[in-house]
Structure 1
Amino acid sequence: MRLTGFFRLPKHEKFKYNPIYYNEEKVAQEQRIKRIKKELELEGEEGEKKAVSISNIKGQFHRGSRLNSSEKRKSNLRVFVILIILIVLFYLLLA
């Protein structure tokens, strides 16, 4: 009786990997070109649009910090409740 039929293992998969040549200079040049294009676009816009976008960014950070403070309060409350439960259990264990 053959037991190998029950425990037939699948063959390993073969992957075709073609390494790609990485040209660091070309990537750096593309990044510089993108950055310069963005700077030129910003210079073409009006100053008021820049001010509005900066205040919008500040507002987003402020809203994000409010959410973090409420999450911190909830976390602190959980820690406090767990601490109280552990103290009560420890007291009951010793009593």
Structure 2
Amino acid sequence: MIGKFFHLPNHRRFNIPYRYFNPEKEEMEERESRIKKEMGIHEKKESDENYRPNIRGQFRRSMGDSSKTASDARKSSNTRLIMLIVILSLAVYLFFKF
């Protein structure tokens, strides 16, 4: 137990593997794409250049929380707060009256 009291943890190591860049392969792919373009051969690309992800509000929609339920929650919270204040003030009034 006493040994754990003065124990200092070791630092965590951060290691990122290097990425290999081959300029010859890049040049060859560029040449192939240019030749295919000149010959009129079109490859179907998997990704669309005009694709733009629509992620705004996706978390709220997936969790089932809409603005209507949030406003209902605020209203119920406010009414609970008002009722609590009324009950406490009534209790304090009755305490000091008797």
TM-score (norm 2): 0.39
If you compute each CA radius of gyration, which structure gives the higher value, 1 or 2?
2
The structure whose residues are more often helix, as a share, is 1
TM-score w.r.t. length of structure 1:
0.40
